[in-house]
Structure 1
C-alpha cells in the first residue's frame, strides 16, 4: 500500500505550464509549451484556456504570458509584465515602418534586449554580438547611453570597450560623446552594428525604468526622415505610458 500523497495530474500539468511561461521573458506558444512540459497539444490547449479564463495567463497574438492574477513582483518578471502592454505597440511599429521592432531596457548597469517583434517579411537583424557589448553601435543602445547621467555613462563605457564591429562603428570616445549629446531622443545606426542593416530608435522613460524601442531594416531601404523619427517617438511615448500604467497597478 502506497504512503505517498494523492496527486492530481491535471493540476500538476497546469502548474508546469505556469512555470514554463513564467521562466520565459517572451510570449510562449502553445506548441512550445506542449513540448516543454511533455503534454499532448490538445490537452495543453484545454489547460491554457482554463488558465487564461481564470486570469493566471494572458494570451497575446504570438503566445502566452503571465496574467493579472499572478502579478509577479520579482525583478526577473518585470519585462514580461511590461510585454503584455508593449507587444501591440511593437507590432504596430513593425507594420508602420516595415522592419523588425525591438525593446531594450537598462538593467543593473547593462543594456539588455528583452523583446523582438518580427515577421517573415520583416526579419530581425543577425544579432551576432550581444546588446550589452554593442551599446555604442546600436540605435537602442545610443538612446539609453544618451539618457544616462554623465557618471553612469562613464561607468558603462569604462566596463565596455568600443568594439570595432564594422568600418562605420564609432570607436572614439569623444566622437561617441558628441553623437550622444546631439541626438535628442532619437538615434540611428547606419551599418555601425552590422553591414547591410540600419536601425532607428527612440528613448523610453518610465518609473524606475530606462529603455528604448527601435526598428531595423535593410540599409538600402533606410532613409533618416522626420516622418520616421516621429513614428519612433510616438511608439516610444506609448511604451513609456504603458510602463507608467504598469507601475501604478503593481
Structure 2
C-alpha cells in the first residue's frame, strides 16, 4: 500500500514538538529555552508556544533553574512496559477534550491491513456516536472517515479497496460510481476535511481530517445531527487545528 498524503499544519506542529522532545530527552539534567532554540533551529516565539503546550500536556517539566526536563507523560509513552495503555489513556483524554470543545462525538480511525477501523472515540449523552447500521469496513465510500483514509492512499490502493468493498447505495446521497468516487478522492486537498452529508445515514453529517503518523494512515472525525449541519465546517476546521496532540502521541 502506497501513501499519497501531504503534510498538514498539525503534522508540522507535531514534528516540531517531537524535535523539542528529542532534544530535551538527550539532556537528562535539563536544557534551557535558549539552548533548545539553538539545537532545534525553531524561532523563539514558536518555541515558547510549543513549550507552553508541551508543559500543559505533561510532556516536559520546568525545574527550579528554568531548564526543561522530560515530563511524566513522555516517560510513560517511552516505556516499553507501559506504552500501550499510556498511549490509549493519552489519546482518550485528547478525544474527550475535543468532544467537549466541539460539542460533537469524536473518532480516531486507522486504515489497517486494508480495512477501516475505529480505534477510539469519545461520545456522551448529548454527543452520541453514529449508529453503525452498515459495517464501517464496507462503507468507506459513504463515510467521512472512509473517504479521508482512502484519500491518503494512492490510486491503485483505492481501486483495490473498492474492488473488495463495492460501493452500495445507503441513502439517496450515496455515491456508488467508482469513477466519480475515485475522481473526488483524487481531488481531495490534504488540508480540507472529507465530508459525509447524509451519505451514510439520513439525519447525520460527519467530517474527517488526516491524522497520519509515519506509515500508518489515520484520521480524526466528528459527527453531528443534521440539524447542527451549519456547525460542521467550523467544527472540522477546529478539529484539524487540534490534531497535533494526537499526531504527537502516535509519533512518540
CA gap 1:173/1:237 in 2 versus in 1, 3 angstroms: farther
**Post-superposition offset of 1:69:** 6.2
After TM superposition, the structure 1 stretch with the greater mean CA deviation from structure 2, 84-93 or 149-158, is 84-93
Residue 93 (1) aligns with residue 104 (2): no
**Post-superposition offset of 1:71:** 4.2
Choose which of 204, 215, 225 in structure 2 pairs with 1:208.
215
**Post-superposition offset of 1:180:** 1.4
Choose which of 100, 111, 134 in structure 2 pairs with 1:106.
111
Residue 187 (1) aligns with residue 187 (2): no
- 1:102-160 CA-to-partner distances (Å, cap 9, x unmatched) read 11111111111122210111111111111111111111111100000112111111111
Q: Name the structure, 1 or 2, with higher relative contact order (CA <8 Å, separation 6+).
A: 2
Structure 1 length normalisation: TM-score? 0.64
Tell me which residue corresponds to 1:236.
243
Choose which of 50, 54, 70 in structure 1 pairs with 2:81.
70
Separation (CA, whole Å) in 2 of partners of 1:184 and 1:237: 18
Tell me which residue corresponds to 2:49.
none
Trace 1:1-250 onto structure 2 (pairs within 5 A). 68=79, 70-71=81-82, 82-185=87-190, 186-223=193-230, 227-245=234-252
CA gap 1:118/1:225 in 2 versus in 1, 3 angstroms: closer
CA gap 1:108/1:82 in 2 versus in 1, 3 angstroms: farther
Larger Rg: 1
SS at the partner of 2:217? strand
Gaps of 5+ in 1: 1-65, 73-77, 246-250
Separation (CA, whole Å) in 2 of partners of 1:152 and 1:236: 25
- 1:31-65 CA-to-partner distances (Å, cap 9, x unmatched) read xxxxxxxxxxxxxxxxxxxxxxxxxxxxxxxxxxx
CA gap 1:181/1:224 in 2 versus in 1, 3 angstroms: farther
Name the count of aligned residue pairs: 174
**Post-superposition offset of 1:225:** 6.0
Separation (CA, whole Å) in 2 of partners of 1:105 and 1:203: 10
Q: Assess if the C-alpha contact under 8 Å between 1:197 and 1:218 holds in 2.
A: yes
SS at the partner of 1:209? coil
